[in-house]
């Protein structure tokens, strides 16, 4: 199975920002074909928007990141999953070199760096080393390196080859910190879809454990979690065999920040037995009644079901309205609300929402009378966004976090939790 | 300073300016000039004239500055082909670099040389490559390994002559995992383009690769897993070993590793003999498959296309996960479409209500294309899932009554297929359909409607008027509709040979034979005309013959192709659902042709399912279109000849009256099994859980409450008395029957909800809502909560204990303990063969046996047999032994996993005498007490 033949970075207008060809017979007309068939395509059905397609005898696999397309071309039966995962990794990699940004300007400003990276991370179209931490020991971030330190680093880079291809490729053993610290953030995204009748059609929690390790030497870290996890995926540094045998997350961490693991929990709401399934932080009852041709009555009751000593912050409720909405009058128990014509929704903002509390909104909405026959309104679901610090919707708990290093230094450990909304929708 | 400014130079004479800078001795301006050249190259400018004096390139190459060196190499890779001299001048520097003390420079040189496809360079590549393959530094070795594949692409003989393949094969055993991974990738690629055995994976190689798998980078893991998919396990144990070693990969963060691991595990599982072990392995694959959907939409798309293949090949693997595939409001359309496809395939009797509710919701979205697909999905569920067809048809009916034009049209098209699948069963739908004729303006929908009118002409009173409406615009209709109209008019005439149809048929046939340009239409009209005038009876036999019922299982990928694609999960072929050979060879040809013509941009996009779907759907009007639409993945070519033949074949030969079903049949025969559906229909079908179950509750209410035990008395239930229990209904549906009485709460109660704690049988309520109305003080109501079994909610031990929580808005949560009677879990198909019974009895160890004497009296064997079988305990054999009668009884309890626990019982008794000595034997020994209870309950 061959791999990718060429990679293109293409702007939203269809201009080629970067191109690197790895195989011989790649058609010169690829950017034009991509512009015509993907970027400027008028049809919006699934066949003409799919990310894997074939034109002019080549297979086009693209990933959209913001306004930029990453396009991989292959002419053989390549591993499409690997190519897409790789493109996604390239975006992450460039972000990690460019302070978290990825857009047309950043790519243009760093094109030399990106060419250098593309030379290193792909060889003959086969993905090679793509770990930012490792690459940074080979390819130095631009504009920040003095000539003298650069010499030193280049000398060090000569020795880096053993390490980047080795079994613990993600860490150098010469790291030293005065103060050894570990930060662990468990960030959970709750997705929910509730029917108009109040039954939960879908809910799941996507969790990420992000660590920041400032540890000297080659530390062994062990993390114990309660057995709540359904599907877990780990950073390459985690010993998967050990997890399977003993359920212990054991690893030698890369230096600095990295995503240790991702997990997913599903399950119905656990109201009778806390600790099972997912605790949905908010539930809403939404009623929208059409009063005649030009008026709507909206009533929303929003109830929080996390512990009362916690707070949700930046709660935003979006209630979609029909196109011809003109204005709305509100009665609120808390927060601020307005009709936002740009989003076509009533927007209700609550800065702080206590746990185990209930708030309500009622609004009367006026619409512009039209002579045209009204199109049926599809009633898109009500959306919500929020953040709840120190809450876990899945009930995952960190039972212990142990760091062991041969010099047995003291380590400061910090554990935080954050629960935030993903697709949080209530139909009405 | 940002490099972006290099893109912005557009002024004239810039090329000259670069030249000056390139000639400059100043490092900095030299480097800037090279950057500008690369930027110009990126945007497609020809900058090949920039290094006229080749010494400049070499000069730049010899720099100590790695960044500048890499930039110049990049330039060389791009222009070496058009300027071979340039490359040749650089050769010496390259060769020198491959001996540099810095491993990074050695690797860079050999990597770049491999990319320059100029013969002169290639000649000089071999010696350095040989050295680098044996380099002490793994970084150089891993680069050299890939370089062998590059060289093979240029000159296979050179690789063979120099023995590089042997070196590569040795590298599979290298101590460094990344070297192993790249060697594997290179060997796999060479193998693919070579006819001889280049890379044979035997036991020894397998061991090496599995060892490297744990240590190498994520991409290396993909190379190795993909290569291992070519290994044939020696035996079942070998296969199990592979699965065990690879299973840990399922937890990798990289979806490509996960999918390649799944591919390998599915491949190895084929060689495992024990079906139970195979099923256990398949079960393990479900969570990682679902996890793949947590990524970017593009990755989800690839995952979904692969899951589509997997659920077709391993049915049941995701049967409990249908909810995961419900569309999110903001999913891109290509993700929604694939999810829909999988929802249809996962739909079964247990989840169809949920699925329909969801599809109903999609049908009210704004994206027309998606709405149509949702409507079509309802029809496909109806066709593939007979027990749920009634419910699906009700949803379609409801959609038609919504009067949204494109929804109605799509519904008409799928209903035609439903009629073809279940002839004569849903005629009640015809009347509402006929009311929305004016909404039809698409040819496919019109043709479908015309077909329905023709087919059911004798059931529709005003069929002649309806057809007349269509005939008014006959000359302007599209060919598909015209063909359908001709056939329908003939059918009408044959079914109702009265005056008006006769006039219509003359009109149609004379137009179709004299005024049309379409040869198909004319030929068909002539055939009908001659048939009718020669022998009307023969015409009836031919035109009104019963049509073959269309097949349900025809949607999906052809099994042979599916098996091939399953071995290539993750690949382009698996995403496109087309064999690799179809697009790779075609691709090569196309490129060659394009380069010969010197032109390009001819978008030959061959989309997969949808295009075929459309083609099939519009290929032909009438019945030919019907069968095509039901098999959407087989494109029907809209060629005229097969079309006509198809229609003629359709006209087989039999008596019309014999084929005509009784019009009232559907409602009466289905009233018993499908009572809620009929009620739904009457209730205007505002499909909601509450409404449907509310109707059910009404049915279950009278008398049902009296036999239910009290689970929670008024004092414990804060004034609410709860009676209830798990029961099995006719048809095998499990339900929690409840009777709620507001005996002393003092206020009206509402908002009843139920939840079950994890339990031995994995029972969960289908909906948490208990469908009872508000209970005023003193009032009571019965309700039924359908239950389903879900392995995710099962405790490991098979105990009957059931913790129930009931929530009432006014009272909060009430907890109560109940037990699941085994009788409710006994399946209707619990019978086994006498041989299997004896075999199993003997196979089970003594430890699986338990005995108890039940205080029962059995008077006569036949009566006992009847009452046991009513409780789904089946008598396998009856034996009279001296002084006693012996019954051998069996039953099968449905386990949460969907498998069955076969229970074996021996009942020994003396008729009329108290005491039945019962022996129980089963794998699941914990079921013994419950089994004794079930026997006692059946016989007392």
Provide the CATH number for the domain around residue A369: 2.60.40.1170
CA distance B715 to B710: 12
Using an 8 Å Cβ cutoff, are B55 and B86 in contact?
no
Tell me: do B834 and B929 sit in the same domain: yes
Token pair recorded at residue A23: 């195989």
Tell me: do B807 and B717 sit in the same domain: yes
Measure CB to CB from residue A112 to each of B3, B101, B150 and give the nearest one: B3
Name the 3-class secondary structure at A153.
Answer: helix
Edge-first strand listing for the sheet containing B900-909: B849-857, B914-921, B900-909, B884-894, B874-881
Using an 8 Å Cβ cutoff, are A182 and A212 in contact?
yes
Give the gap in angstroms from C-alpha B486 to the nearest C-alpha of chain A. 34
In a domain, A141, yes or no: no
Tell me: do A343 and A369 sit in the same domain: yes
Tell me: do A404 and A264 sit in the same domain: yes
CA distance B497 to B464: 11
Give strand pairing partners of B763: B789
pLDDT digits (tens, 9 = 90+) for B238-282: 999 999 999 999 989 899 999 999 999 999 999 999 989 999 999
Tell me which chain A residues have a C-beta less than 8 angstroms from the C-beta of B591. 25, 27, 56-58, 75
Tell me: do A266 and A405 sit in the same domain: yes
The DSSP annotation for B298-341 comes to: HHHHHHHHHHHHHHHHSTTTTTT-GGGGSPPTTS-HHHHHHHHH
Give the DSSP letter of residue A37.
I
Give the gap in angstroms from C-alpha A84 to the nearest C-alpha of chain B. 6
Measure CB to CB from residue A378 to each of B143, B364, B602 and give the nearest one: B364
Q: Does B142 touch chain A (CB under 8 A)?
A: yes
| Last residue in a domain, options B514, B534, B554 | B534
Using an 8 Å Cβ cutoff, are A353 and A283 in contact?
no
Give the DSSP letter of residue A334.
S
Which residues span the domain enclosing B221?
Answer: 201-271
Q: What is the CATH number of the domain that holds A63?
A: 3.30.450.60
Tell me: do B263 and B242 sit in the same domain: yes
Please work out, in degrees rounded to the nearest 5, the angle formed at the alpha carbon of residue B760 by the alpha carbons of B755 and B763: 40
In a domain, A264, yes or no: yes
Hey, what's the torsion of the CAs at B8, B12, B13, B14, to 10 degrees?
A: 10
Q: What percent of chain B has pLDDT over 90?
A: 23
Q: Which of A46-55, B29-38, B163-172, B654-663 shows the lowest per-residue confidence on average (mean pLDDT)?
A: B654-663
Most confident of A127-131, B2-6, B338-342: B338-342
Token pair recorded at residue B498: 């009265």
pLDDT digits (tens, 9 = 90+) for B181-213: 999 999 999 988 887 888 888 888 999 999 888
In a domain, A140, yes or no: no
* Cβ neighbourhood burial of B5 (10 Å; 0-12, 13-18, 19+): middle
Tell me: do B774 and B834 sit in the same domain: no
| Last residue in a domain, options B210, B240, B271 | B271
Q: Residue B291 and residue A376: Cβ atoms within 8 Å?
A: no
Please tell me which residue, B5 or B791, carries the higher pLDDT value.
B791
Tell me: do A183 and A208 sit in the same domain: yes
- pLDDT of B33 above 50: yes
Q: Does A201 touch chain B (CB under 8 A)?
A: yes
Give the DSSP letter of residue B915.
E
Q: Does B319 touch chain A (CB under 8 A)?
A: no
Enumerate residues 6+ apart whose C-beta is below 8 A from B161: none
Give strand pairing partners of A8: A19, A71
In a domain, B798, yes or no: yes
| Last residue in a domain, options A100, A135, A170 | A135
Tell me: do A235 and A353 sit in the same domain: no
Give the gap in angstroms from C-alpha A158 to the nearest C-alpha of chain B. 6
Buried b (16+ CB within 10 A) or exposed e, A68-86: bbbbbbbbbbbbbbbbbbb
Classify the complex by whether its ipTM is higher than 0.95, answering yes or no. Answer: no
Helix axes B177-192, A147-165, angle to 10 degrees: 70
Q: Residue B299 and residue A85: Cβ atoms within 8 Å?
A: yes
Looking at residue B164, its pLDDT comes to 93
Tell me: do A31 and A50 sit in the same domain: yes
Using an 8 Å Cβ cutoff, are B385 and B392 in contact?
yes
* Cβ neighbourhood burial of B880 (10 Å; 0-12, 13-18, 19+): exposed
CA distance A109 to B7: 9
Q: Does B150 touch chain A (CB under 8 A)?
A: yes
- pLDDT of B147 above 90: yes
**Which chain B residue's Cα is nearest to A35?**
B601
Give the DSSP letter of residue B749.
B
**3-state SS track over B258-299:** HHHHHHHHHHHHCCCCCHHHHHHHHHHHHHHHHHHHHCCHHH
CA distance B292 to B295: 6
Measure CB to CB from residue A56 to each of B290, B295, B590 and give the nearest one: B590
Q: Residue A56 and residue B301: Cβ atoms within 8 Å?
A: no
| Last residue in a domain, options A87, A108, A135 | A135
Tell me which chain A residues have a C-beta less than 8 angstroms from the C-beta of B74. 115, 119
In a domain, B900, yes or no: yes
Chosen from B32, B42, B364 to mutate, greatest number of chain A CBs within 10 A: B42
Please tell me which residue, B398 or B714, carries the higher pLDDT value.
B398
Q: Residue B74 and residue A119: Cβ atoms within 8 Å?
A: yes
Please work out, in degrees rounded to the nearest 5, the angle formed at the alpha carbon of residue B565 by the alpha carbons of B373 and B296: 55
Which residues span the domain enclosing A346?
Answer: 282-389
Q: Does B615 touch chain A (CB under 8 A)?
A: no
In a domain, B583, yes or no: no
Q: What is the CATH number of the domain that holds B831?
A: 3.30.310.10
Give the gap in angstroms from C-alpha B105 to the nearest C-alpha of chain A. 9
Give strand pairing partners of A360: A301
Token pair recorded at residue A388: 């709840």
Measure CB to CB from residue B601 to each of A19, A36, A267 and give the nearest one: A36
Tell me: do B894 and B923 sit in the same domain: yes
Tell me: do B836 and B910 sit in the same domain: yes
Q: Does B589 touch chain A (CB under 8 A)?
A: yes
In a domain, A145, yes or no: no
Tell me: do B807 and B848 sit in the same domain: no
**Which chain B residue's Cα is nearest to A428?**
B361
CA distance B366 to B329: 11
CA distance B217 to B228: 16
* Cβ neighbourhood burial of B767 (10 Å; 0-12, 13-18, 19+): buried
Tell me: do A407 and A265 sit in the same domain: yes
Q: Residue A54 and residue B587: Cβ atoms within 8 Å?
A: yes
In a domain, A276, yes or no: no
In a domain, A142, yes or no: no
Please tell me which residue, B915 or B224, carries the higher pLDDT value.
B224
Looking at residue B267, its pLDDT comes to 94
Interface of B with A in 786-815 (CB under 8 A): 792, 803, 805, 807, 813, 815
Using an 8 Å Cβ cutoff, are B469 and B437 in contact?
yes
CA distance A356 to A354: 7
Give the gap in angstroms from C-alpha B357 to the nearest C-alpha of chain A. 10
Written as tens digits, the pLDDT of chain A (428 aa) is 467 889 999 998 888 999 898 887 777 888 899 998 888 888 878 778 899 999 888 899 999 998 899 999 998 899 999 999 999 999 999 988 888 888 888 888 888 889 889 988 999 999 998 888 778 777 765 533 444 555 665 666 666 666 566 556 677 777 888 899 999 999 999 988 888 887 787 888 888 999 999 999 889 999 988 766 667 888 888 888 888 778 789 999 988 888 899 888 876 544 444 445 688 899 899 999 888 878 899 999 999 989 899 999 999 999 999 888 888 999 999 999 999 998 889 999 999 999 999 999 999 999 887 766 656 677 889 999 999 999 988 888 888 899 998 888 889 999 889 999 998 999 88
| pLDDT confidence bin for B374, thresholds 50/70/90 | very high
Looking at residue B366, its pLDDT comes to 78
Give the number of A-B residue pairs with CB atoms closer than 8 Å.
Answer: 380
| Last residue in a domain, options B510, B534, B558 | B534
Q: Does B304 touch chain A (CB under 8 A)?
A: no
How many domains does chain A divide into? 3
Tell me: do A13 and A97 sit in the same domain: yes
Give the gap in angstroms from C-alpha B617 to the nearest C-alpha of chain A. 16
| pLDDT confidence bin for B53, thresholds 50/70/90 | low
pLDDT digits (tens, 9 = 90+) for B484-538: 999 999 999 888 888 888 888 888 888 888 888 888 888 889 988 888 888 888 8
How many domains does chain B divide into? 4
Q: Does B288 touch chain A (CB under 8 A)?
A: yes
Buried b (16+ CB within 10 A) or exposed e, B788-814: bbbebbbeeebbbebebbbbbebbeeb
Looking at residue B359, its pLDDT comes to 93
In a domain, B722, yes or no: yes
Q: Does A11 touch chain B (CB under 8 A)?
A: no
Q: Residue B570 and residue A81: Cβ atoms within 8 Å?
A: yes
- Closest CA relative to residue A228, chosen from A419, A340, A395, A387: A395
Chosen from B3, B260, B261, B610 to mutate, greatest number of chain A CBs within 10 A: B3
In a domain, A341, yes or no: yes
A173 Cα distance to chain centroid = 30
- pLDDT of B855 above 60: yes
In a domain, B396, yes or no: no
CA distance A383 to A378: 15
Chosen from A37, A62, A77 to mutate, greatest number of chain B CBs within 10 A: A77
Chosen from B41, B112, B254, B592 to mutate, greatest number of chain A CBs within 10 A: B254
Tell me: do A299 and A238 sit in the same domain: no
CA distance B36 to B59: 18
Looking at residue B288, its pLDDT comes to 92
Tell me: do A266 and A409 sit in the same domain: yes
Chosen from B136, B294, B693 to mutate, greatest number of chain A CBs within 10 A: B294
Q: Does A376 touch chain B (CB under 8 A)?
A: yes
Tell me which chain A residues have a C-beta less than 8 angstroms from the C-beta of B605. 37, 48, 53-55
Q: Does B689 touch chain A (CB under 8 A)?
A: yes
Using an 8 Å Cβ cutoff, are A248 and A237 in contact?
no
In a domain, B877, yes or no: yes
Please work out, in degrees rounded to the nearest 5, the angle formed at the alpha carbon of residue B734 by the alpha carbons of B730 and B738: 100
Tell me: do B930 and B860 sit in the same domain: yes
Tell me: do A411 and A339 sit in the same domain: no
Interface of A with B in 126-155 (CB under 8 A): 126-131, 138, 142-143, 154
The DSSP annotation for A162-218 comes to: HHHHSTTTT--TT---SSEEEEEEEEEEEEEEE-TTS-EEEEEEEEEEEEEEE--SS
- pLDDT of B50 above 80: no
Using an 8 Å Cβ cutoff, are B343 and B378 in contact?
no
Q: Residue A264 and residue B294: Cβ atoms within 8 Å?
A: yes
Using an 8 Å Cβ cutoff, are B393 and B418 in contact?
yes
Tell me: do B795 and B722 sit in the same domain: yes
Using an 8 Å Cβ cutoff, are B292 and B305 in contact?
no
In a domain, B36, yes or no: no
Measure CB to CB from residue A45 to each of B66, B287, B333 and give the nearest one: B333
Q: Does B688 touch chain A (CB under 8 A)?
A: yes
| Last residue in a domain, options A83, A107, A135 | A135
In a domain, A407, yes or no: yes
Tell me: do A131 and A248 sit in the same domain: no
pTM (predicted TM-score): 0.67
Q: Residue B218 and residue A236: Cβ atoms within 8 Å?
A: yes
Hey, what's the torsion of the CAs at B256, B259, B260, B261, to 10 degrees?
A: 120
Residues shown for chain A: 428
Tell me: do B855 and B797 sit in the same domain: no
In a domain, B741, yes or no: yes
């Amino acid at each position: 199975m061959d791999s990718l033949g060429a990679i293109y970075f293409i702007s939203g207008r269809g201009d080629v920002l970067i191109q690197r060809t790895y195989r011989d017979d790649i058609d010169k007309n690829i950017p034009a074909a991509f512009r015509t068939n993907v970027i400027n395509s008028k049809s919006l059905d699934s066949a003409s928007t799919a990310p894997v397609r074939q034109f002019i005898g080549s297979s086009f696999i693209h990933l959209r990141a913001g306004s930029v397309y990453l396009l991989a071309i292959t002419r053989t039966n390549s591993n499409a999953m690997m190519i897409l995962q790789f493109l996604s990794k390239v975006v992450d990699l460039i972000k990690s070199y460019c302070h978290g940004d990825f857009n047309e300007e950043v790519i243009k400003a760093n094109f030399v760096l990106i060419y250098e990276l593309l030379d290193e991370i792909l060889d003959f179209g086969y993905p090679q080393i793509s770990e930012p931490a490792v690459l940074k020991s080979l390819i130095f971030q631009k504009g920040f390196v003095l000539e003298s330190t650069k010499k030193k680093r280049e000398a060090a880079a000569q020795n880096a080859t053993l390490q980047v291809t080795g079994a613990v490729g993600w860490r150098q053993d010469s790291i030293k910190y005065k103060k050894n610290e570990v930060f662990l953030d468990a960030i959970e995204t709750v997705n929910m879809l509730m029917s108009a009748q109040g039954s939960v059609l879908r809910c799941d929690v996507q969790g990420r454990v992000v660590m920041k390790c400032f540890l000297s030497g080659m530390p062994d870290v062990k993390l114990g979690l309660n057995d709540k996890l359904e599907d877990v995926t780990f950073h390459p540094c985690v010993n998967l065999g050990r997890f399977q045998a003993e359920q212990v997350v054991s690893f030698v961490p890369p230096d600095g920040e990295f995503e240790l693991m991702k997990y997913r929990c599903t399950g119905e709401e656990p109201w009778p037995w806390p600790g099972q399934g997912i605790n949905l932080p908010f539930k809403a009852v939404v009623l929208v009644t059409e009063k005649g041709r030009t008026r709507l009555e909206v009533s929303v009751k929003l109830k929080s079901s996390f512990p009362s000593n916690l707070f949700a912050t930046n709660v935003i409720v979006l209630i979609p309205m029909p196109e011809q909405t003109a204005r709305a009058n509100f009665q609120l128990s808390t927060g601020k609300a307005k009709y936002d014509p740009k989003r076509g929704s009533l927007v209700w903002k609550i800065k702080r929402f206590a746990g185990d509390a209930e708030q309500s909104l009622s609004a009367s909405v006026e619409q512009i009378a039209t002579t045209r026959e009204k199109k049926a309104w599809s009633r898109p679901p009500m959306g919500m966004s929020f953040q709840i610090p120190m809450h876990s919707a899945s009930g995952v708990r960190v039972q212990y976090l142990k760091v062991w290093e041969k010099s047995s230094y003291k380590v400061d450990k910090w554990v935080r939790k954050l629960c935030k909304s993903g697709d949080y929708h209530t139909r009405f | 300073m940002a490099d972006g400014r290099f893109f912005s130079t557009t002024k004239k004479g810039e090329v000259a300016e670069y030249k000056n800078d390139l000639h400059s001795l100043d490092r900095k301006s030299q480097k800037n000039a090279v950057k500008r050249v690369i930027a110009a190259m990126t945007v497609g400018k020809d900058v090949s004239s920039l290094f006229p004096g080749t010494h400049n390139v070499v000069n730049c190459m010899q720099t100590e500055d790695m960044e500048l060196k890499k930039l110049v190499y990049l330039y060389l890779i791009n222009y070496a082909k058009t300027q071979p001299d340039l490359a040749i001048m650089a050769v010496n520097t390259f060769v020198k670099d491959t001996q540099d003390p810095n491993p990074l420079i050695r690797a860079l040189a050999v990597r770049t040389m491999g990319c320059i496809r100029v013969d002169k360079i290639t000649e000089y590549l071999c010696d350095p490559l040989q050295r680098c393959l044996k380099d002490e530094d793994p970084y150089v070795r891993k680069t050299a390994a890939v370089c062998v594949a590059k060289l093979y692409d240029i000159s296979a003989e050179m690789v063979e002559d120099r023995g590089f393949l042997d070196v590569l094969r040795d590298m599979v055993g290298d101590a460094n995992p990344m070297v192993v991974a790249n060697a594997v990738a290179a060997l796999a690629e060479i193998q693919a383009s070579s006819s001889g055995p280049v890379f044979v994976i035997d036991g020894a190689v397998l061991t090496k690769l599995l060892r490297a798998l744990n240590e190498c980078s994520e991409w290396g893991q993909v190379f190795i897993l993909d290569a291992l998919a070519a290994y044939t396990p020696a035996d079942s144990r070998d296969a199990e070993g592979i699965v065990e070693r690879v299973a840990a990969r399922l937890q990798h963060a990289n979806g490509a590793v996960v999918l390649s691991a799944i591919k390998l595990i599915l491949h190895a599982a084929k060689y495992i003999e024990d079906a139970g072990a195979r099923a256990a392995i398949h079960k393990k694959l479900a969570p990682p498959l679902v996890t793949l959907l947590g990524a970017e939409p593009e990755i989800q798309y690839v995952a979904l296309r692969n899951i589509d293949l997997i659920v077709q090949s391993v049915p049941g693997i995701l049967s409990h996960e249908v909810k995961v595939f419900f569309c999110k409001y903001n999913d891109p359309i290509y993700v929604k479409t694939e999810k829909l496809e999988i929802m249809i395939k996962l739909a079964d009797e247990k989840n169809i209500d949920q699925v329909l509710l969801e599809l109903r919701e999609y049908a009210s979205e704004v994206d027309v294309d998606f709405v149509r697909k949702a409507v079509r999905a309802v029809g496909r569920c109806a066709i593939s899932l007979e027990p749920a067809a009634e419910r699906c048809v009700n949803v379609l009916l409801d959609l038609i009554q919504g009067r949204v034009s494109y929804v109605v049209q799509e519904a008409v098209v799928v209903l035609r297929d439903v009629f073809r699948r279940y002839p004569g069963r849903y005629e009640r739908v015809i009347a509402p359909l006929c009311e929305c004729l004016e909404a039809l303006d698409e040819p496919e929908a019109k043709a479908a409607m015309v077909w329905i009118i023709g087919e059911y002409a004798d059931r529709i009173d005003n069929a002649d008027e309806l057809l007349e409406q269509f005939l008014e615009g006959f000359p302007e209709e599209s060919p598909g509709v015209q063909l359908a109209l001709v056939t329908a008019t003939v059918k009408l005439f044959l079914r109702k040979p009265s005056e008006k149809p006769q006039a219509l048929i003359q009109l149609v046939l004379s137009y179709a034979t004299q005024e049309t340009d379409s040869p198909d239409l004319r030929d068909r009209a002539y055939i009908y005309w001659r048939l009718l005038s020669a022998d009307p009876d023969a015409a009836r036999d031919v035109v009104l013959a019963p049509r073959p019922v269309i097949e349900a299982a025809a949607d999906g990928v052809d099994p042979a192709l599916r098996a091939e694609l399953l071995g290539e999960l993750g690949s382009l072929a698996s995403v496109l659902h087309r064999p690799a050979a179809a697009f790779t060879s075609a691709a090569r040809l196309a490129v060659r042709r394009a380069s010969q013509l010197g032109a390009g941009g001819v978008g030959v996009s061959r989309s997969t399912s949808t295009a075929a779907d459309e083609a099939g759907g519009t290929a032909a009007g009438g019945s030919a279109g019907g069968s095509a639409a039901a098999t959407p993945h087989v494109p029907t070519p809209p060629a005229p000849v097969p079309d006509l033949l198809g229609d003629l074949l359709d006209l087989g030969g039999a008596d019309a009256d014999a084929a005509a079903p009784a019009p009232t049949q559907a409602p009466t025969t289905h009233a018993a099994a499908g009572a809620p559906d009929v009620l739904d229909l009457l209730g205007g079908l505002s499909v909601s859980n509450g409404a449907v179950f509310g109707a059910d509750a009404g049915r279950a209410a009278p008398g049902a409450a009296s036999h239910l035990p009290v689970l929670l008395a008024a004092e414990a239930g804060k004034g609410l008395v709860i009676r209830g229990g798990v029961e099995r209904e006719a048809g095998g549906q499990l339900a929690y029957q409840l009777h709620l009485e507001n005996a002393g709460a003092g206020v009206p109660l509402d908002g009843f909800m139920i939840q079950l704690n994890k339990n031995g049988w994995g029972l969960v309520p289908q909906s948490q809502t208990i469908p009872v109305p508000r209970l005023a003080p003193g009032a009571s109501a019965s309700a039924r909560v359908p239950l389903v079994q879900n392995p995710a909610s099962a405790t490991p031990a098979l105990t009957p204990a059931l913790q129930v929580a009931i929530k009432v808005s006014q009272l909060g949560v009430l907890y109560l303990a109940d037990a699941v009677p085994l009788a409710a879990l006994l399946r209707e198909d619990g019978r086994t063969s006498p041989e299997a019974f004896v075999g199993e009895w003997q196979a089970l160890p003594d430890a699986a046996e338990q005995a108890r004497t039940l205080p029962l009296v059995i008077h006569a064997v036949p009566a006992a047999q009847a009452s046991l079988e009513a409780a789904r305990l089946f008598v396998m054999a009856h034996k009279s032994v001296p002084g006693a009668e012996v019954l051998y009884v069996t039953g099968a309890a449905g386990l949460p996993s969907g498998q069955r626990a076969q229970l074996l019982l021996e009942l020994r008794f003396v008729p009329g005498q108290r005491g039945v000595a019962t022996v129980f034997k089963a794998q699941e020994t914990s079921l013994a007490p419950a089994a004794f209870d079930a026997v006692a309950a059946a016989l007392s």
